[in-house]
Amino acid sequence: MAERVETSVTDGEQTIEERQIGAMWELEKKLDQPMDEEANKLKNMYREKGLSIWMLLRLSFQSLGIVYGDLGTSPLYVFYNTFPDGIDDKEDVIGALSLIIYSLLLIPLIKYVFIVCKANDNGQGGTLAIYSLLCRHAKVKLIPNQRRSDEDLTTYSRTVFVEGSYAAKTKKWLEGKDWRKRALLVIVLLGTCMMIGDGILTPAISVLSATGGIKVINPNMSSDIVVLVSIVILIGLFSMQHYGTDKVGWLFAPIVLIWFLFIGATGVYNICKHDTSVLKAFSPTYIYLYFKRRGRDGWISLGGILLSITGTEALYADIAYFPLLAIQLAFTFFVLPCLLLAYCGQAAYLVNNTDHYKDAFYASMPDSVYWPMFVVATGAAIVGSQATISGTYSIVKQAVAHGCFPRVKIVHTSKKFLGQIYCPDINWILMLGCIAVTASFKNQSQIGNAYGTAVVLVMLVTTILMALIMLLVWRCHWILVLVFTVLSLFVEFSYFSAVIFKIDEGGWVPLIIAAISLLVMSVWHYATVKKYEFEMHSKVSMSWILGLGPSLGLVRVPGVGLVYTELASGVPHIFSHFITNLPAIHSVVVFVCVKYLPVYTVPEEERFLVKRIGPKTFRMFRCVARYGYKDLHKKDDDFENKLLNSLFAFIRIETMMEPASNSSTYSSAYSVNNTLDSREDLIHNNNNHYHNSNNNNNNTDMFSSMVDYTVSTLDTIVPADSPHNGVSFSHENTIEEDEMDELEFLKTCKESGVVHIMGNTVVKARSGSWLPKKIAIDYIYAFLAKVCRENSVILHVPHETLLNVGQVFYV
């Protein structure tokens, strides 16, 4: 019967079988799966918050302390950095104010709050979140570990392109060459590295500018004392981070609220007292007159104007912490009006007091509120630093999930909001960087130059990525994309051309920070890709495993062995390496693949995919544990029990779907007709995923994937020694074991003990490799791999159940 099907299968029957396979897997995912109310609540958090007006107002208030602190403290240093050599003409102040007004309206308000922030991945912002969206809509990811089943996730949202559309053409162009994928990744990593640089520069300039105000009433005070006070404040700020964003936000939000009210009220006071005519700066005519009057100096001063919109990039990175609507409401109706009043008030003061350009903020304060304002300003500067620090945590977490950053410890600090995290390793690195910058420069002007360089580069990267998002994800008309891109690039390149002149005056600092970060991330990602390719090419032939028989030619000891691998299909090299050196293996073997997908989260009920490898007598399974870049391995998560519960659920589903059999001489084996029906489709999928493999490896990969795909739930009951079976197996199990219920057998093995078998991999460059590659792999990557956290620590594997298998990969 099997032979007849083998020779007479038609394309139509293949389609039917494929539909059956899809239907069965859909049923598997729905039946008897564990449900987690907290996971569902977190998954729908943003949608739920939008329905409650009180929660929305609460989060809008709290966002002041996390999202807008950086943007709100810009009035402390903008005019000083715009006129570092003094004000020659009063009209220059009006022109600078006009530039500030339209910078705030065009960049933070229109571009970011109402356009860019909508390009979020279910609430996640930043360049890596955009990259995740692009990876779902085009095959631009360099690690080809995605499978068709991943696209069935409820959080794996994407659109289908119409053939011949601009989106389809853009997708085809991106996928056409590997260098385009690499170039896209480099652009994304550059933006990420600049954000890390912001995490160092923002606290330095904000705190130093605030504490420097004390010299207004005590001009003879040494600058070293101001620097020392700033360093003490910075140490205190970073030491508080472990309490979590939720608690820090509630502590800081009232400070920022008072700050905005203070600067808004002071602005109104200065406008009324000094010069109401500054309001004419709302006319863009004064921008033209400003550049006409000042010429080259006016153009260079854009580097100071740029500081008025710093914090905008942190705003986008921090949208993971709060709903988008709460952020939009807070900025539009509270933050922006207060900022405009503050700048107008300072300008009104400077028009009549041009010699106070260095300390315009504090000098324009009424004497009666100087000390309260100084205290609030210092607190607001600390809060301003919090916005960028929180954003840095988010992007580092995303970079780790994308395989672009060494594994670091991530702590989930809130039970209510999944996006609120703390990264102790990065926290202390940022603190040391801030202290070094503050102590070295001692001058907010030079730090401001460095800060402006980092900010404008992040904005340029965001604009380039947004053009792709508008084409691929939003499918906007090319004219709209062109208008948005050209206008954004015109404004941002104007700022960029200005900060270039200040590279030697501090602007080199973010470039050095970005270069170091980019080197680390590039080397780590390169080695990660090469490790995956090595595992793909060196995985074991499935025919060899099946030829060993049910005992695998080994001593099967009681217990469950969890063999960890990067592969989602096939038998990993670590397994053959293990059994070659130790001819014994556990009664139940599960190949576990923990992989991250380009989605923000994977719901708990969809976390694990389980499939059988070989017939039932082999007791071999594969489990793929899928995570999004927002998901965390928390200490209270029992990864081992969840995995085994998913395995038990799979066994129950598989048993329900099998035809009844009353003969103990029958066992579950491969369905030849199912295998043949889907062979061409599997070969096609395999070639798409692993097109760079050689012919022998391709044949092995196809066979491994074919076995993995078809044995899942459509196994047929056929005699183990039947000639119609595609592979012949000897009946080696005892009658007692054959009669034992498989679930009871698995539970007995679990009680005997679970061992986690992980590869202790050493990656080395091949002999004959060019020198840069040897330095990158043998020194830089080796150092990073040594200092980063092990996979066993990330997954919270008990040390007493861990078994490391040493192996060397040559790339």
d(CA 45, CA 323) in angstroms, rounded, equals 9
Give percent of the chain above pLDDT 90: 18
Three-class secondary structure assignment of 427-475: HHHHHHHHHHHHHHHCCHHHHHHHHHHHHHHHHHHHHHHHHHHHHHCCC
| Partners of 411 in the β-ladder | 422
User: Residues 235, 419, 117, 629: is their CA dihedral positive or negative?
Assistant: positive
Contact 458/193 with Cβ under 8 angstroms? no
- Angle of helix 370-401 relative to helix 53-66, nearest 10 degrees, comes to 100
| Residue whose entry in the numeric block shows the structure tokens 């973010």 | 510
With 0-12 / 13-18 / 19 or more C-beta atoms within 10 angstroms meaning exposed / middle / buried, residue 777 is buried
Number of alpha helices (DSSP H) and beta strands (DSSP E) in the chain:
36, 10
Q: Which amino acid is at 531?
A: K
Confidence of residue 516 (pLDDT cuts 50, 70, 90): very high
DSSP one-letter string for 174-192: HHH-HHHHHHHHHHHHHHH
d(CA 285, CA 97) in angstroms, rounded, equals 12
pLDDT of res. 205: 82
Q: Between residues 523 and 666, which one has the greater pLDDT?
A: 523
pTM of the model: 0.74
d(CA 736, CA 522) in angstroms, rounded, equals 55
Contact 84/304 with Cβ under 8 angstroms? yes
635 is written with which tokens?
A: 């200490």
Neighbours of 786 (CB within 10 A): 8
DSSP one-letter string for 304-332: HHGGGGTTHHHHHHGGGGS-HHHHHHHII
Contact 539/570 with Cβ under 8 angstroms? yes
pLDDT of res. 32: 33
What torsion, rounded to 10 degrees, do the Cα atoms 722, 724, 725, 730 define?
A: 30
What torsion, rounded to 10 degrees, do the Cα atoms 795, 154, 421, 72 define?
A: 160
pLDDT of res. 209: 80
Contact 546/700 with Cβ under 8 angstroms? no
pLDDT of res. 696: 37
Secondary structure E strands in 242-338: none
With 0-12 / 13-18 / 19 or more C-beta atoms within 10 angstroms meaning exposed / middle / buried, residue 271 is buried
Q: Between residues 715 and 360, which one has the greater pLDDT?
A: 360
Confidence of residue 522 (pLDDT cuts 50, 70, 90): very high
Confidence of residue 634 (pLDDT cuts 50, 70, 90): low
Q: Tell me the Ramachandran region of residue 202: left when phi exceeds 0, alpha when psi lies from -120 to 50, beta otherwise.
A: alpha
pLDDT of res. 684: 37
User: Residues 565, 570, 571, 573: is their CA dihedral positive or negative?
Assistant: negative
Non-local (6+) Cβ contacts of 52 within 8 A are none
Say if strands 754-764 and 555-565 run parallel, antiparallel, or are unpaired.
parallel
Euclidean distance between the first and final Cα of the chain, in Å? 47
Q: Which of 203-217, 450-464, 734-748 has the highest mean pLDDT?
A: 450-464
Neighbours of 690 (CB within 10 A): 19
Contact 384/206 with Cβ under 8 angstroms? yes
| Partners of 561 in the β-ladder | 589, 755
d(CA 197, CA 199) in angstroms, rounded, equals 5
Confidence of residue 104 (pLDDT cuts 50, 70, 90): very high
Secondary structure E strands in 716-801: 716-719, 754-764
Confidence of residue 637 (pLDDT cuts 50, 70, 90): low
Q: String of b and e for 176-214 (b: at least 16 CB within 10 Å)?
A: eeeeebeebbebbbbbbbbbbbbbbbbbbbbbbbbbbbb
pLDDT of res. 346: 93
744 is written with which tokens?
A: 């009871």
Non-local (6+) Cβ contacts of 218 within 8 A are none
Give the residue-averaged pLDDT of 229-246.
Answer: 81
Non-local (6+) Cβ contacts of 54 within 8 A are none
Averaged confidence pLDDT in the chain:
76
Q: Which of 387-401, 469-483, 551-565 has the highest mean pLDDT?
A: 469-483
Contact 249/257 with Cβ under 8 angstroms? no
d(CA 425, CA 397) in angstroms, rounded, equals 12
Q: Between residues 317 and 459, which one has the greater pLDDT?
A: 459
Give the residue-averaged pLDDT of 376-402.
Answer: 81
Give percent of the chain above pLDDT 70: 78
pLDDT reading at 156 higher than 80: no
pLDDT of res. 289: 92
pLDDT of res. 442: 66
Neighbours of 664 (CB within 10 A): 9
| Residue whose entry in the numeric block shows the structure tokens 């504090």 | 362
d(CA 470, CA 476) in angstroms, rounded, equals 6
Q: Which helix (H) or strand (E) holds 586?
A: strand 584-596
Closest of 267, 402, 327 to residue 109, by C-alpha: 327
pLDDT reading at 101 higher than 90: yes
d(CA 385, CA 369) in angstroms, rounded, equals 24
With 0-12 / 13-18 / 19 or more C-beta atoms within 10 angstroms meaning exposed / middle / buried, residue 115 is middle
683-719: per-residue pLDDT in tens? 333 334 333 333 333 333 332 332 232 233 333 223 3
Say if strands 584-596 and 620-627 run parallel, antiparallel, or are unpaired.
parallel
d(CA 717, CA 663) in angstroms, rounded, equals 10
| Partners of 586 in the β-ladder | 557
